[in-house]
Amino acid sequence: MTQEQRVQPSINEQKESGPMKAADNRVIRMTVNGVPYEFISEHDLEPWETLAHLLRERLGLTGVKVPCDEGACGACTVLMDGEAVLSCMTLAVEADGHAIMTIEGLDENDLVTKAFAEQCEPGYGTALQCGICTPGFVMATKALLKDDPAPTNEAIKEALSGNLCRCGCYTGIARAIQKAVDETSGRRA
């Protein structure tokens, strides 16, 4: 494994460096969960390396799950500048100049995480069993609530339509998200 180096430039300075060019021997800068990183393309990371691989294998952020590695399940969802992206379908070099957040970067009292963890209710069940899908659902929900703190059920379904749960916890997941929405929008569940 190659060595990562932490650097100090702000994300704004990084954005001013301009649009992404071809992945040659150049410096790739990003923040991950608020920590600035600098990588040398073709030295510290490969041009074909996915963001999911970078996060899991180089930075040890194993909260990023990669069950399918082909864009089909949503479990690898992370935030890029607050927007949900599939990290298995995003090249690491595409994160140049951006702020990445994984589930490890959320506050320990995060409402969405709490709603998933605490969901256990007759008629709805739990929001997770094996937990593989959970980080993806949580991060996709975070992106949704950033833009719309009080989404309709249709908006929730649309935003999370790319996230799959093989354990079939959809009823509990829907209930947990609704509780998080109610908390975020000031309503009671």
Q: Which is nearer to ligand FES, 73 or 91 (CB)?
A: 73
Token couple for 155: 């908006």
Is 31 within 8 Å of 102 (Cβ atoms)?
A: no
Q: Is 120 in the site for ligand FES (CB under 6 A)?
A: no
Q: Is 64 in the site for ligand FES (CB under 6 A)?
A: no
Which of 81, 83, 30, 77 has its CA nearest to residue 58? 30
Q: Which is nearer to ligand FES, 88 or 139 (CB)?
A: 88
Q: What is the amino acid identity at position 43?
A: H
Among 167, 171, 174, 182, binds ligand FES (CB under 6 A): 167
Q: Which is nearer to ligand FES, 106 or 164 (CB)?
A: 164
How far, rounded to the nearest angstrom, does the alpha carbon of residue 138 sit from its chain's CA centroid? 8
Q: Which is nearer to ligand FES, 47 or 131 (CB)?
A: 131
Q: Which is nearer to ligand FES, 29 or 176 (CB)?
A: 176
Nearest approach in angstroms of CB 131 to ligand FES is 5
Token couple for 7: 């650097």
Q: Is 57 in the site for ligand FES (CB under 6 A)?
A: no
Among 101, 111, 133, 160, binds ligand FES (CB under 6 A): 133
What is d(CA 130, CA 137) in angstroms, rounded to the nearest whole number? 13
Parallel/antiparallel/unpaired status of strands 77-80 and 35-40: unpaired
Q: Is 112 in the site for ligand FES (CB under 6 A)?
A: no
What is d(CA 148, CA 8) in angstroms, rounded to the nearest whole number? 32
Q: Is 125 in the site for ligand FES (CB under 6 A)?
A: no
Collapsing DSSP to helix, strand or coil, 140 comes out as helix
Among 129, 155, 174, 182, binds ligand FES (CB under 6 A): 129
Among 132, 171, 174, 183, binds ligand FES (CB under 6 A): 132
SS3 labels along 4-32: CECCCCCHHHHHCCCCCCCCCCCEEEEEE
Sites of contact with ligand FES (CB under 6 A): 66-69, 71-76, 86, 88, 128-133, 165-167, 169
